[in-house]
Structure 1
């Protein structure tokens, strides 16, 4: 989960509710309170480090995972290379794992 100071309370609850509804155990929640423009997200760093092959990373929306499109693409590429799936719960459709052709 990532929230900014401006939307912290509302966005935190929306993200938490969506993750719990998707079956994510709260002990696996990682959180940052930071602008999308900041470079250091210690929660995301710890989360990515904890993921193992066969795991699936669930995020509320794609913009919670990357600072910008390049960062998002690089992160997804890293996850794929490590055998980690990705599940986006809301936004412009649900994306799971690798794109289908």
Structure 2
């Protein structure tokens, strides 16, 4: 089953989820299977994302419009996608940077592996700087 997630950063009405919803529906996601938030990607407390992740079952694919809709930090994205993978859930990114990611394919898993390696490298650099400081 395809399950979608959409997010805009502002809840003041200045941003709309319409573009993302339309793209998710065009990709085959049932409108009733789209979860959403109106909150910064930096926030950990996003009820729509939490509900979406909870709804996903083995064999499902999480579809997002752009990679940054799921989160702003590479580390968060890698952790979330790794957890999905461990649960047998795929991830498909429709557009933007990261659009080549479709973890249901070999090429998509390779792309994700590169992102994961970069996130681990970034984490190690931060750890080294902290210890040196």
TM-score, normalised via structure 2 length: 0.69
Deviations 1:37-86 (A, max 9, x none): 21200000000011000000000000111231111000000000000000
Q: Which moved more, 1:65-74 or 1:49-58?
A: 65-74
**Structure 1: which 4+ aligned runs deviate by more than 2 Å?**
none
Asked which structure has the greater RCO (Cα within 8 Å, sep 6+), the reply is 1
**Which sections of structure 2, spanning at least 5 residues, go unmatched?**
1-5, 112-133
Q: Is contact 2:41–2:70 with CA below 8 Å preserved after alignment? A: no
- Other-structure match for 1:100: 110
Q: Over aligned residue pairs, what C-alpha RMSD do you find?
A: 1.6
TM-score, normalised via structure 1 length: 0.90
Counterparts of 1:78 and 1:91 in 2: how far apart (Å)? Answer: 23
Aligned positions, number: 99
Higher helix content, 1 or 2? 2
Larger of the two Rg values belongs to structure: 2
